[in-house]
Amino acid sequence: MNIEQIVREVVEQINKKKNELQSNLREEPQNEVDVEYSRAKVVGVKEPIDSDTIAQAQKITPARIGIGRAGTRMRTKSYLDFLLDHAAAQDAVKKEVSEQFLEKLDIPILKTNAESLSQYLMDLDSGRMLCDESASWLQKNSAKGKQVQIIVSDGLSTTGIEENVHDLLASLEQGLKLKNISMEKPIFIKRSRVWVQDHVASIVNCDLVISLIGERPGLATSKSVSAYFIYKPTKDSVESDRTVISNIHEGGIQPLEAGAYLSDIIDDMLSKKASGVKYAQAKN
């Protein structure tokens, strides 16, 4: 047998095995039950002093605790859980807000200069200004001179916005009404960053802007929303002039309860005429 022959036979053998393997794979789903990956929390510590204590601790925080170890490394299941959650979070960033959701939300939809998701992610300034068309629409259609403007921004988590904004917006508007605080109609701004609130304030001439913005997704939740407040922003406004309340989602500050909390803060900011560090100092 010459070398060429040997190689040919080996290749044939490999191909035969490959085909068998592939036909097995094709058949498998029909024969086996399709098992769903379980994301349930389990005590992973081997021979703990008190397993109940660990199970109890796992209930009071979403943090990855009580997961045990293999040597100094994670156990297999905790490692897979981590990879799964990272994959889900990466996918959440790439998702766009659905048309259906926007229809149901029923508030004006404005746009920034960010024309694509990649431009939005890589060029911060593109998400900080309304596009010309949206700016002139707002100029024409806003009431002007109200106390508060609410902005909804998709930010980095459309899931966060889709899951929480209905309840959050309703409870926030209710809270402000109860306090007799006047409002512009809320607006949704697609692919926008926090600083777009300064541009909006300059158009609608309000005292305070609150932005409800989808936070960048974490592993524990990809559904979190933050509220950013700024009192009378100007061209010289800086980051520390803003106040932020983060972690509004089902596992953090409940969206239905957040409305009352946020409107209390707005009321206090309006009376102290400040936000950010200046507001924190005025409180003490």
Partner 1 sequence: MKLSGRIKDQHFQFSSVTEVLAKASEEKSGDLMSKVAAGSSLERVAAKWILSELTLKDIYEHPVIPYEKDEVTRVIYDQVNEHIYKEISHWTVGYLREYILEHSTSSSALKRISRGLTSEMIAAVAKIMSSIDLVMASQKIRYQAHCNTTIGEPGRLAFRCQPNHPTDQTEGILASLKEGLSYGSGDAVIGINPNNDSVESVSRLLTISHEFIQKWGIPTQNCVLAHITTQLQALKKGAPVALMFQSLAGTEKANRDFGVSKELLDEASYYMMKMGTSAGPNVMYFETGQGSEVSLNADHGVDMQTLESRTYGYARLWNPFMVNNVSGFIGPETLYNGRQMIRADLEDLFMGKMNGLPMGIAPTYTNHMESDQNDQEIAGMLTALAGANFYMGVPGGDDVMLSYQDTSFHDDASLREMLGFRPLREFEVWLEKMGIMENGRLTPRAGDLSIFN
Residues that bind partner 1 (CB under 8 A): 45, 47-51, 53-54, 57-58, 60-69, 72-74, 78, 82-83, 85-86, 89-90, 92-93, 121-125, 156, 215-222, 224, 238-240, 245-247, 251-253, 276-277, 280-281, 283-284
Q: Do the bridges between strand 187-190 and strand 148-153 make them parallel or antiparallel, or are there none, so unpaired?
A: parallel
Under the phi-then-psi rule, with left for phi > 0, alpha for psi from -120 to 50, and beta for the rest, what region is 106? left
Cα dihedral sign for 194, 195, 198, 201? negative
Nearest-angstrom CA–CA distance, 271 and 149: 16
The strand pairing partners of 43, in sequence order, are: none
- In the bound complex, what is the minimum distance in angstroms from residue 243's beta carbon to partner 1? 8
What DSSP line would sit under 163-220, residue for residue?
HHHHHHHHHHHHHHHHTT--BPPPEEEET--TTHHHHHHHHH--SEEEEEEEPPP-SS
Nearer to partner 1, 7 or 83 (CB): 83
- In the bound complex, what is the minimum distance in angstroms from residue 73's beta carbon to partner 1? 6
- In the bound complex, what is the minimum distance in angstroms from residue 164's beta carbon to partner 1? 14
- In the bound complex, what is the minimum distance in angstroms from residue 151's beta carbon to partner 1? 20
Nearest-angstrom CA–CA distance, 208 and 30: 60
Nearest-angstrom CA–CA distance, 18 and 13: 9
Nearer to partner 1, 113 or 224 (CB): 224
Nearer to partner 1, 77 or 166 (CB): 77
- In the bound complex, what is the minimum distance in angstroms from residue 143's beta carbon to partner 1? 31
Nearer to partner 1, 38 or 100 (CB): 38
Nearer to partner 1, 222 or 263 (CB): 222
Nearest-angstrom CA–CA distance, 103 and 177: 24
Q: What is the radius of gyration, based on Cα positions, of the chain?
A: 26
Nearer to partner 1, 54 or 183 (CB): 54
- In the bound complex, what is the minimum distance in angstroms from residue 93's beta carbon to partner 1? 4
